[in-house]
Amino acid sequence: MRRLYLLLFLLLLVGCTITPENTSSTPVIPTVDPADTELVGAKRKYELLCAHCHGYTGGGQPIGSGPGTVETTIELGFHPVPRHDAEGHTWQHPDQLLFQIVKDGASSPLYLYIMSPHG
């Protein structure tokens, strides 16, 4: 359970470190203290389980044609994957809901999001 909270913390950390004032074309990737083994583990899990959809910097799905893109997701009748950066809306949801979505996934047709469970 603690690891899931660390994963959620990492998601929020990624979202909070990218600000609208940052106009650099190079994405800002937060650094993780290598001595903090739990946070390093959470970062690895995010990169393994989440980044392919939510982006390594939290920027969401790529735009364009092909599998995994915003356009393909919309064509399938689903909403694009939420961004985890300053432009996203993840931070607006209660922690318990985010925990539940990470643990149980979001496959209900009412959500119109596709996310496998990771709990």
Supply the DSSP string of 84-106, one letter for each residue: -STTSSGGGS-HHHHHHHHHH-B
Look at the block and give the residue holding tokens 């496998």: 116
Computed over every residue of the chain, the mean pLDDT equals 78
* 116 assigned to some structural domain: no
* 118 assigned to some structural domain: no
Question: What is the structure's pLDDT at 96?
Answer: 93
| Cβ(100)–Cβ(118) below 8 Å | no
Question: What is the structure's pLDDT at 114?
Answer: 75
* 119 assigned to some structural domain: no
pTM exceeds 0.85, yes or no: no
* 32 assigned to some structural domain: yes
Distances (CA, A) of 9 to 16, 20, 36, 42: 10, 20, 14, 9
Mean pLDDT of 111-116: 76
CA-derived radius of gyration, the chain: 14
Domains contained in the chain, number: 1
Q: In 1-119, which ranges are continuous DSSP H helix?
A: 2-17, 37-45, 51-54, 70-75, 95-104
Domain hosting 52: range is 2-104
Task: From 1, 18, 2, 3, select the one nearest 91 (Cα to Cα).
Answer: 18
pLDDT higher than threshold 60 for residue 4 = yes
